[in-house]
Amino acid sequence: MQDDPRALVSTDWLAKHLKDPDLRVLDASWYLPAMGRDAKREYDEAHIPGARFFDIDEISDQRSDLPHMAPTVEKFMSRLRAMGVGDGHQVVVYDGAGIFSAARVWWTLRLMGQFDVAVLDGGLPKWRQEGRPLDDLDPVIRDRHMTVRRQHHLVKDVTQVSAAAKLGDYEIVDARPAERFRGEVAEPRAGLRAGHIPGSKNVPFGELLVQGQTMKSPDEIRRVFEGAGVDLSKPVIASCGSGVTACILALALERMGKTDHAIYDGSWAEWGAFLTLPVAKGPAKQGPMT
């Protein structure tokens, strides 16, 4: 693969740069309850040398009733400074699944104006499989100032998504599994309706990955989106269950050179709870919401 320090880098690239003074590695592991894994405990037991743990649930806007919404600028700055991450750093984010929650932290840093950030392709599983070094030591932290400029165009709220669904000026793409998108199974989060945003398309995030770990090539990514009926001439709003796997879609789009994409941060946790918002079921249909 071709390494891109602003999107995706290989384990070879990280191994080569691991001791660079301005490299910062973040363990962004996060798991759904059904996965039965404890991300912080696993980090404490073994992580890539020098990695800091990024707690997606804690570094969020906890004033919101919705899960792990993007944090305020002030909270983000204070937490990253406490990790010793700041201006001039190249950041590499990984997770314990391969490519899963790391994309969410990649997007969060970009939202805050930090663009020298990449996801580790294959994550910790690939790093382990290759016999690369791990440790259980706490990293040495030195404060570093971070200049934050929130990139408002990278995130959409429910009002903006509703307007986009009606006008059809964006492609709304849902990363959830097909049976959830079609409304054939109940949502794992209690109290949510089943189905999808009218007019949205479905690209289950796993279709962009090879064996759930590494990202497909840019040409393969393009074929996946086009095969789902996504018009790539339009800007894209990515959605999912709670705003985590939607970021895998954003990362894949960035990987293939498409930069006009945003995340619906509330995703189905928000849309599915609002009884006044329309819900569609069955396969994706062409055309805007009426």
Residue pLDDT, tens place only, 202-235: 999 999 999 989 999 999 999 999 999 999 999 9
**Helical ranges in 130-277 per DSSP H:** 158-167, 178-181, 218-227, 246-255, 267-271
Confidence label for 286 from pLDDT (cuts 50, 70 and 90)? low
pTM: 0.96
Domain 8-150 has CATH 3.40.250.10: yes
Lowest-confidence region among 114-118, 143-147, 165-169: 143-147
**Helical ranges in the chain per DSSP H:** 11-17, 39-45, 73-82, 102-111, 123-129, 158-167, 178-181, 218-227, 246-255, 267-271
Overall fold of domain 153-271: Oxidized Rhodanese; domain 1 (3.40.250)
Q: Do domains 8-150 and 153-271 have the same CATH topology?
A: yes
Res. 288: pLDDT tops 60: no
Q: In this structure, what token pair is assigned to residue 162?
A: 């509703």
Query: Contact 238/250 with Cβ under 8 angstroms?
Result: yes
Res. 274: pLDDT tops 50: yes
Biggest CA-to-CA distance, the chain: 56
Average pLDDT, rounded, for the chain = 96
Confidence label for 275 from pLDDT (cuts 50, 70 and 90)? very high
Confidence label for 169 from pLDDT (cuts 50, 70 and 90)? very high
Q: Quickly count: other Cβ atoms within 10 Å of residue 75's Cβ.
A: 15
Find the mean pLDDT for residues 243-264: 98
Mind listing the pLDDT tens digit for each residue in 11-56? Answer: 999 999 999 999 999 999 999 888 899 999 999 999 999 999 999 9
Domain boundaries, the chain: 8-150, 153-271
Res. 250: pLDDT tops 50: yes
| Nearby residues of 225 by Cβ (< 8 Å), 6 or more positions away | 173, 203, 232, 252, 253
DSSP character at residue 186: -
- Nearest to residue 19, comparing CAs of 45, 52, 49, 47? 49
Percent over 70 (pLDDT), the chain: 98
Catalytic choice (240, 251, 280, 284): 240
DSSP character at residue 107: H
CB-facing half-sphere around the CA of 259: CA atoms within 13 A: 6
Active site residue 240: yes
Residues 193 and 112: their CA atoms lie apart, in Å, by 32
